[in-house]
Amino acid sequence: MSISALSDLIDPAKCPRLVLKVGSALLVGVDGAPRRDWLAALVAEIAAARGRGQEVLVVSSGAIALGARRLGMDKGGRGSLSDAQAAASVGQIALAGLWAELLGQHGLIAAQILLTLDDLEDRRRYLNATATLGRLLSAGAVPVINENDSVATNEIRFGDNDRLAARVAQAAEAKGVLLLSDIDGLYDRDPRAPGAQRVPLVRGVTAEIHAMATGGSSSGLGSGGMTSKLQAAEIAELAGIALGIVDGRPESPIGHALGEGSGTLFLSRGKRRARKAWLGGRMRVKGSVHVDAGAAKALARGSSLLAAGVTAVDGAFERGDVIAVIGPAGAVLGRGLSEYDSADCALLLGHSSHKHAGILGYAPRSAIIHRDQMVML
């Protein structure tokens, strides 16, 4: 039973586990104070979902915005990295306390998890997060997750909770993600432009879909915007997860959006094996190899990438790093774990496998990327 409508996201039979992402502008008012009444109504919706037998994980933003107000920082605490780190530190306690209190009013136990990018990029740490989330859910708790902004630096951070939510859904093996936004879905052009139409259903985040997204966060409180939501949808669809965007602003936003039939649903591209799903969602790519037309065709048929079809190597990477595979027309065809470091790849390119031992002086692997370690995009 796959998810084909937004309302399926709250159907425990079709979506037994849901990740709900709540943005900063919804949680924190323009005065910098938490929007308690709105959040209390949302928590009642979460409690109702739990009552129907659906497990819910929350990805909650708002730490930086809440902390900035308490520390008297300007620009919502986003003026500099050190401001954001300090603000998040102060705001996260308040944020977690708020969730714990309001969930507690429904007899639900909140569990805080703070993640950094590497916790989900590194396979071992990713599996560790999967185990923790699974145990929390089986114990009946509601995980409330945010990025660990106090220690994250620009190089090692997600920076937006949209992609974090999609990655968490993968780690938690959820079938659906619901992003509560300050807009009621994706529009076919700038939503303020005359004649702009909401796109209710998206089958695959294509270049045409990307062209519809405009700019960053409209509220100035979060860091998301439609661009990061589309990136989240891409991670989700590759992992076999459906992703919805609905307007989070009304009271009880989930019921409101489903009642009205508004929002955008991004369909998944079917189920992927867990390891491939993790690989497809990896965000940091260390380098790339360019391939010729023959290799591109073989890859599309599911073959491994052989050095004979590689025409160029970019970047400095180690064996086991994720690299992109770029086709003759310049499009990224896929991503996979390299069997060689970049220097060895450069020595091997264009040469067929039986020559590798002679070139490198050691027993070679037969492929640059083995097909089990590769996802086509």
If the CB atoms of residues 5 and 156 are measured against ligand GLU, the closer one turns out to be 156
Least spacing, CB of residue 240 vs ligand GLU, in Å: 24
Residue 149 or residue 237: which is nearer to ligand GLU going by CB? 149
Least Å from the CB of residue 62 to ligand GLU: 5
Alpha helices per DSSP H over the chain: 24-27, 36-51, 63-71, 81-104, 117-121, 123-138, 161-171, 207-210, 225-238, 253-260, 274-281, 293-300, 342-348, 356-360
Greatest Cα pair distance, the chain, in angstroms, is 71
DSSP string, 158-224: --SHHHHHHHHHHHTT-SEEEEEESSSS-BSS-TTSTT--B--EESS--HHHHTT--SS-SSSSSS-
List contacts with ligand GLU (CB under 6 A): 24, 61-65, 88, 146-147, 149, 160-161, 222-224
In the complex, the smallest distance separating the C-beta of residue 67 from ligand GLU, rounded to whole angstroms, is 8
Minimum CB distance to ligand GLU, residue 161 (Å) = 4
- Is residue 363 a contact partner of residue 356, using CB atoms and an 8 Å limit? no
Output 35 or 290, the one with its CB closest to ligand GLU. Answer: 35
Which CB, 87 or 310, lies closer to ligand GLU?
A: 87
Q: Least CB distance from residue 16 to ligand GLU, whole Å?
A: 26
The CA distance from 26 to 285, in Å, is 33
CB distance 109 to 103 below 8 Å? yes
Name the DSSP letter for residue 291. E
Which residue, 35 or 272, is less far from ligand GLU as judged by CB?
A: 35
Nearer to ligand GLU, 78 or 272 (CB): 78
DSSP-assigned letter for residue 319: T
Closest to ligand GLU by CB, 83 vs 149, is 149
Closest approach of ligand GLU to the CB of residue 246, in Å = 16
Query: Within a 10 A sphere around the Cβ of 80, how many other Cβ atoms?
Result: 11
CB of 196 to ligand GLU, least distance (A): 24
Given a contact cutoff of 8 angstroms between Cβ atoms, the answer to whether 26 and 38 are in contact is yes
DSSP 8-state class, residue 7: G
CA atoms within 13 A on the CB side of 354: 0
Closer Cβ to ligand GLU, 88 or 367, answer by number: 88
User: Quick one: how far is CA 210 from the chain centroid?
Assistant: 16
Q: How far is the CB of 172 from ligand GLU (least distance, A)?
A: 18
